[in-house]
């Protein structure tokens, strides 16, 4: 039986980790050839939506490497990426895809050996996890649908704004000079990620045909009352509308989200 060889996508920042990979090459330091490198100007430019797209297209693992904290060519681009990856992992937890398939790490231009070690460790980790459940001829359709919902949630400005304001809210405070503790902010992020994922999953479900609350609740594995609460929030945002009523049962249909 042929050994599983994972397909790994690597996003490397131009100024540090790509140079580290180049040093590993010219120094002839051996590391697995499973990684397919994409060079970006800054790790902070790697959008969570792109990573989710990689997973949806069958990547077995995705790794993002950037400059060490404090050494970013763009001052805080790597720290911003760290916050985005934290949010993304919370989204991935809802999709059914293993969190171990995503990694963020730091590599300087002088750390060719470190780059090789990180790639080797990550490749071995992915081999232990096995092929992605959405790759091959029989992809897991539920996880694929969840990845699409996660991608739509990650595209929504609400999560983007929240992630972008983490540093300001925890260190500087809001407009009322009230600061969030890191634990309070993480709890807020957890709640927001969960709510946005569910809302976008409901949106996907009701795009094809109008559905009643009980049918939606069965698919998203939530109590009908909790689903109705999300639908109320979605109606305020013009994500969904009442399509028709059969007897006493309302059916809801997704609206196009701009």
* Chain segment 124-145, per-residue pLDDT in tens: 999 999 999 999 889 999 999 9
Residue 220 CA, distance from chain mean position:
19
Is residue 250 a part of any domain in this protein?
Answer: yes
CATH of the domain at 162: 1.10.10.10
Is residue 138 a part of any domain in this protein?
Answer: no
Residues 107 and 174 in one domain: no
Sheet holding 240-246, edge to edge: 211-212, 249-254, 240-246
Count of domains in the chain?
Answer: 2
**Would you call 221 helix, strand, or coil by DSSP?**
coil
Has residue 258 got a pLDDT over 80?
no
Summary mean pLDDT of the chain: 95
Domain of residue 30, residue span: 8-129
Has residue 3 got a pLDDT over 70?
yes
Residue 157, C-beta contacts closer than 8 angstroms, at least 6 positions apart: none
Is residue 68 a part of any domain in this protein?
Answer: yes
Q: How far apart are CA 117 and CA 4, in angstroms?
A: 20
Residues 124 and 173 in one domain: no
Has residue 179 got a pLDDT over 90?
no
Residues 110 and 24 in one domain: yes
Residue 111 CA, distance from chain mean position:
27
Residues 121 and 160 in one domain: no
Is residue 208 a part of any domain in this protein?
Answer: yes
Q: Of residues 172 and 10, which shows the higher confidence score?
A: 10
- What pTM, to 2 d.p., does this model score? 0.94
Residue 26, C-beta contacts closer than 8 angstroms, at least 6 positions apart: 112
Residues 95 and 184 in one domain: no
CATH of the domain at 89: 3.40.50
201-230 pLDDT, tens digit per residue, is 999 999 989 999 999 999 999 999 999 999
Please, where are the H alpha helices in the chain?
17-26, 48-56, 77-95, 112-129, 141-155, 157-164, 166-167, 182-208, 213-220, 224-236
Is residue 102 a part of any domain in this protein?
Answer: yes
Mean pLDDT of 85-98: 96
């Amino acid at each position: 039986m042929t050994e599983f060889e994972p397909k790994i996508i690597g996003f490397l920042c131009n100024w540090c980790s790509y140079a580290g990979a180049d040093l590993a090459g010219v120094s002839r330091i051996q590391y697995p050839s499973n990684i397919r490198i994409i060079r970006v100007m800054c790790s902070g430019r790697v959008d969570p939506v792109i990573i989710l797209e990689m997973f949806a297209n069958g990547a077995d693992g995705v790794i993002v490497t950037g400059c060490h904290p404090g050494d970013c060519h763009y001052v805080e681009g790597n720290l911003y990426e760290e916050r985005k990856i934290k949010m993304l992992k919370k989204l991935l937890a809802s999709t059914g895809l293993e969190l171990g398939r995503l990694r963020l790490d730091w590599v300087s231009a002088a750390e060719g050996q470190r780059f090789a070690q990180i790639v080797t460790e990550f490749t071995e980790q992915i081999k232990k996890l096995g092929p992605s459940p959405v790759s091959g001829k029989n992809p897991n359709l539920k996880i694929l649908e969840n990845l699409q919902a996660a991608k739509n949630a990650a595209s929504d400005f609400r999560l983007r704004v929240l992630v972008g304001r983490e540093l300001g809210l925890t260190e500087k405070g809001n407009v009322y000079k009230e600061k969030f503790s890191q634990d309070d902010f993480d709890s807020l992020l957890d709640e927001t990620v969960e709510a946005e994922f569910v809302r976008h999953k409901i949106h996907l479900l009701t795009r094809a045909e109008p559905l009643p609350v009980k049918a939606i609740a069965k698919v998203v594995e939530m109590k009908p009352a909790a689903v109705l609460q999300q639908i109320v929030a979605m109606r305020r945002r013009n994500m969904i509308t009442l399509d028709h009523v059969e007897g006493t049962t309302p059916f809801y249909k997704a609206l196009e989200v701009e």
